[in-house]
Structure 1
Amino acid sequence: MAFEEQENELLALQSIFGSEDFIRHESKSAGEIRVSVELPSEYKVALREGGTLKQYKISFLPTLLLTFELPENYPYSSPPDFTLCCSWLTQKQLADLGTHLTELYNASRGDVVLFSWVQFLREDTIRFLNITSMLELSNEPSTSFSSQGTMDVEPSEQENSQTTGYSHPRSLSDDKNEARDPLNEHNPFSGLSLTPSQTLLSKILIHDAAQEQKVFQSTVYDCAVCFISYLGSECIKIQECGHVFCRSCLAEYCKVQITEGNVRGVTCAQEGCTALPAQAQVQSLVGEELFKRYDRLLLQSTLDRMSDVIYCPRTSCASPVIIEKDGNVALCSICGFAFCTSCKKAYHGTNDCELLNSHPENDSEQSIADLPRSLEGMKALWEDYASGSKQRRRLLESRYGGKGRFPKLEDYLSGGWIALNSKNCPYCSCKIEKNGGCNIVTCSQCDRHFCWICLTVLSGRTYQHFQSSECYLYL
Structure 2
Amino acid sequence: MTSDTEEQEDELLALHSIFGSDEFVRDESKSAGELRVCVELPAAFMVALTEGETLSQYEISFLPPLLLTFELPEDYPSSSPPSFTLTCSWLTHTQLSALSAQLTDLYQATGGAVVLFSWAQFLKEDALRFLDIDTLLELPSGEHSTQNCSQDSLDVALSEAKNNKHTPATGPTDIQSLDLSALSLEAEQTLQTSEIKADYQDDQSKQISKEDFLNEGSVLLPSSSSGPLDESEQGAASLPRESPPNEDQRLSGRSLTPSQALLSQILIYDAAQQQKQFATTVFDCGVCFMGLLGMDCVQLLCGHIFCRTCLSQFCKLQITEGNVQGVTCPDADCDAAPTPAQVRSLVGEELFSRYDRLLLQKTLDCMPDVVYCPRHSCGSAVIWDKSSTAAMCTVCAFAFCVTCKKTYHGTEACQKKKKKIMTENDAEQPTAAVPRSQEGMKALWDDYVSGSKQRKRLLESIYGRRSLQNGLVECLSEEWVATNSENCPYCYSSIQKDGGCNVMRCYWCKRLFCWSCFAKLPSQGYLDHFDNGTCNHFGSDFFPAT
Contact 1:79 1:102 in 2 (8 A): yes
Is 2:241 the partner of 1:182?
yes
Contact 1:88 1:163 in 2 (8 A): no
Alignment match of 2:10 (pick from 8, 30, 37) = 8
Is 2:261 the partner of 1:199?
yes
CA RMSD after TM alignment? 3.3
Distance (whole Å) between structure 1 residues aligned to residue 106 and residue 316 of structure 2? 60
Alignment match of 2:370 (pick from 309, 316, 337) = 309
Distance (whole Å) between structure 2 residues aligned to residue 186 and residue 267 of structure 1? 40
Distance (whole Å) between structure 2 residues aligned to residue 222 and residue 213 of structure 1? 17
Counterpart residue identity of residue 325, structure 2: R
Q: Could you give the per-residue CA deviations for residues 71-105 of structure 1, whole angstroms, max 9, x where no partner exists?
A: 12222222111100011111111111111111111
Deviation at 1:229, TM superposition (A): 1.4
Is 2:295 the partner of 1:233?
yes
SS at match of 1:99: helix
Counterpart residue identity of residue 411, structure 2: T
1:159-170 equivalences under 5 Å are 167-168=180-181
Q: Which moved more, 1:158-167 or 1:291-300?
A: 158-167
Q: Could you give the per-residue CA deviations for residues 44-96 of structure 1, whole angstroms, max 9, x where no partner exists?
A: 21122221111112111111101111112222222111100011111111111
Is 2:372 the partner of 1:328?
no
Q: Which residue of 1 aligns with 2:280?
A: 218
Q: Which residue of 2 aligns with 1:360?
A: 418
Distance (whole Å) between structure 2 residues aligned to residue 77 and residue 51 of structure 1? 53
SS at match of 2:10: helix
Unpaired stretches in structure 1, ≥5 consecutive residues: 362-370, 372-377, 394-402, 408-428, 433-475
Distance (whole Å) between structure 1 residues aligned to residue 175 and residue 376 of structure 2? 60
SS at match of 1:248: helix
Q: 1:281 to 1:56 in 2, by over 3 A?
A: same
Alignment match of 1:387 (pick from 416, 425, 430) = 425
Distance (whole Å) between structure 2 residues aligned to residue 165 and residue 225 of structure 1? 56
Deviation at 1:234, TM superposition (A): 1.1
Q: Which moved more, 1:93-102 or 1:340-349?
A: 340-349
SS at match of 2:126: helix
Deviation at 1:161, TM superposition (A): 7.7
Q: 1:232 to 1:142 in 2, by over 3 A?
A: closer
Identity of paired residues, percent?
54
Q: 1:182 to 1:296 in 2, by over 3 A?
A: farther
SS at match of 1:360: coil
Q: Which residue of 2 aligns with 1:40?
A: 42
Distance (whole Å) between structure 2 residues aligned to residue 132 and residue 84 of structure 1? 21
Distance (whole Å) between structure 2 residues aligned to residue 288 and residue 153 of structure 1? 58
Distance (whole Å) between structure 1 residues aligned to residue 95 and residue 45 of structure 2? 18
Q: Which residue of 2 aligns with 1:442?
A: none
Deviation at 1:244, TM superposition (A): 1.1
1:124-143 equivalences under 5 Å are 124-138=126-140, 139-143=143-147
Q: Which residue of 2 aligns with 1:411?
A: none
Q: Which residue of 1 aligns with 2:347?
A: 286
Deviation at 1:112, TM superposition (A): 1.4
Q: Which residue of 2 aligns with 1:248?
A: 309
Counterpart residue identity of residue 282, structure 2: V
Q: 1:28 to 1:213 in 2, by over 3 A?
A: same
Q: Could you give the per-residue CA deviations for residues 355-405 of structure 1, whole angstroms, max 9, x where no partner exists?
A: xx93316xxxxxxxxx6xxxxxx3xxx2x2x236xxxx6xxxxxxxxx76x
Deviation at 1:197, TM superposition (A): 1.0
Distance (whole Å) between structure 1 residues aligned to residue 338 and residue 417 of structure 2? 49
Counterpart residue identity of residue 416, structure 2: S
Q: 1:269 to 1:302 in 2, by over 3 A?
A: same
Q: 1:161 to 1:262 in 2, by over 3 A?
A: farther
Q: Could you give the per-residue CA deviations for residues 200-221 of structure 1, whole angstroms, max 9, x where no partner exists?
A: 1111111111111111111111
Contact 2:67 2:88 in 1 (8 A): yes
Q: Could you give the per-residue CA deviations for residues 289-333 of structure 1, whole angstroms, max 9, x where no partner exists?
A: 111122222223333333332221223212121222521111111
Q: 1:232 to 1:166 in 2, by over 3 A?
A: farther
Distance (whole Å) between structure 2 residues aligned to residue 296 and residue 57 of structure 1? 37
Q: Which residue of 1 aligns with 2:149?
A: 145
Counterpart residue identity of residue 333, structure 1: T
Give the 4+ runs in structure 1 shifted more than 6 A. Answer: 158-164, 174-177, 429-432
Q: 1:299 to 1:184 in 2, by over 3 A?
A: farther
Counterpart residue identity of residue 184, structure 1: S
Distance (whole Å) between structure 2 residues aligned to residue 46 and residue 430 of structure 1? 53
Q: Which residue of 1 aligns with 2:204?
A: none
Q: Which residue of 1 aligns with 2:114?
A: 112
Deviation at 1:160, TM superposition (A): 7.4
Deviation at 1:235, TM superposition (A): 1.1
Distance (whole Å) between structure 2 residues aligned to residue 165 and residue 257 of structure 1? 61
Q: 1:186 to 1:217 in 2, by over 3 A?
A: farther
SS at match of 1:37: coil
Contact 1:142 1:153 in 2 (8 A): no
SS at match of 2:128: helix
Q: 1:123 to 1:84 in 2, by over 3 A?
A: same
Q: Could you give the per-residue CA deviations for residues 121-166 of structure 1, whole angstroms, max 9, x where no partner exists?
A: 111122111222111222324454332337679458x987868666
Deviation at 1:256, TM superposition (A): 1.2
SS at match of 1:184: coil
Q: 1:60 to 1:163 in 2, by over 3 A?
A: farther
TM-score (norm 2): 0.62
TM-score (norm 1): 0.70
Is 2:110 the partner of 1:52?
no
SS at match of 1:290: helix
